[in-house]
Amino acid sequence: MRLQKLFSSHMNNESARIFNSAITAPAIAAAFELKILEELKQEGRLCTKQFCQDQNLHQETVAEILRALSYFGITTPISTIDKNIFGPGPNFADVYREKGYFLWLVRGYAHMFQNLSTFARNDERGVSPNFCRNGNFIAKAADDYGATFVDSYFEKMLAEFPFKTAADLGCGSAARLIKLAEKDRQFRGVGVDFDSDSVGLARDTIKAHGLQARLKVLRQDASTLEQCSEFEDIEIIFSFFMGHDLWPHDKCLQAFRYLSVAFPAAKRFLLCDTYRSQMDGVSHIPVFTLGFEFTHAIMGQYIPSISEWLDLFPEAGWKCVNYVNIDIPSSAIFDLRPA
């Protein structure tokens, strides 16, 4: 009786839920990477044994991933006889849509979470603000959540204004440039990123699509751009989920002012970013927001509020003619024109 009481208190307390969710988050990221989520979506079922044989995966590991997903109703066993067969659970659709955030968190920031207490000690932090993130996985994750939550808004805004050349600042995998180049054979573009992993990924992906003649990727810091011939005839600049990395205010102001010098032909700048949520003290914080603000605070990276962005644009010589909130919490695309 006493044992049963003790056991049920362990099962129902909030601490157990937090602990189990800390295991399920990496399980979701792994299920995304191993195409377990895709198999469940496409086929409506997954037989662990068969899937592991086909993909050469360690069956016990995959079984535990599926068990962790089941705990949160992401998958569900669908056969009482064969415990190896799973189907999508009631929470599958939500998690499938938001899988990119889990990859971002788990693979992008694993080192930070493993060493959190170290990064809280001033004498052990290190010097670079990007010391603890994995650019390759952050770029891959951004491809997924970008395609799901951002690109329909972006494409609608792009269609308002004809162009043949564009630059993507903080281009990550360069997925947006590749999509534009595949859609229009006249299109030429240049991606800029300061992270060697992202630049490598972008160049490899461009090569795999056979687009090297029309798309270039330069390794440069967007806060201290160098003038170069690739920028001279660029009509549209865009930037996704990098703008906050240029803050604090004075550094970003200088970088944005310089854009019209570096890109003398630019008629438009579409800036998409996540701004400070100002949700302190709210218990139901949406997916992504807490992770975004948490990781950036640890890196010592200031996140501006939307009003701080709107105040900076005219100061930097850009007129904001419109902005559209997108399907990522506290995120918008700002439509800027040279003032």
Ligand X SMILES: C[S@@+](CC[C@H](N)C(=O)[O-])C[C@H]1O[C@@H](n2cnc3c(N)ncnc32)[C@H](O)[C@@H]1O
Binding site for ligand X (CB under 6 A): 135, 138-139, 142-143, 146, 170-172, 175, 192-195, 198, 221-223, 240-242, 245-246
Least gap, CB of 138 to ligand X (angstroms): 5
Q: Which of 24, 20, 2, 22 is nearest to 11 (CA)?
A: 20
Chain-centroid distance of CA 208 in Å reads 22
CB closer to ligand X out of 45 and 209: 209
CB closer to ligand X out of 40 and 222: 222
Chain-centroid distance of CA 220 in Å reads 20
CB closer to ligand X out of 79 and 224: 224
Is residue 270 within a helix (H) or strand (E), and if so which, with residue range? strand 268-274
Instruction: Give the residue carrying structure tokens 């494409």.
Output: 155
- Which sign does the torsion angle of CA 275, 152, 324, 281 carry? negative
- CA 303 to CA 3: how far, in whole Å? 49
Least gap, CB of 135 to ligand X (angstroms): 5
CB-count burial class (<10 Å; 0-12, 13-18, 19+) for 280: exposed
Least gap, CB of 240 to ligand X (angstroms): 3
Look at residue 273 and give its three-state secondary structure.
Answer: strand
CB closer to ligand X out of 194 and 323: 194
Least gap, CB of 5 to ligand X (angstroms): 47
CB closer to ligand X out of 188 and 296: 296
Q: Which residues contact 69 (CB under 8 A, 6 or more apart)?
A: 24, 27, 28, 31, 75, 86, 89, 95
Q: Which of 145, 181, 146, 183 is nearest to 166 (CA)?
A: 181
Least gap, CB of 73 to ligand X (angstroms): 29
CB closer to ligand X out of 46 and 299: 299
Least gap, CB of 87 to ligand X (angstroms): 31
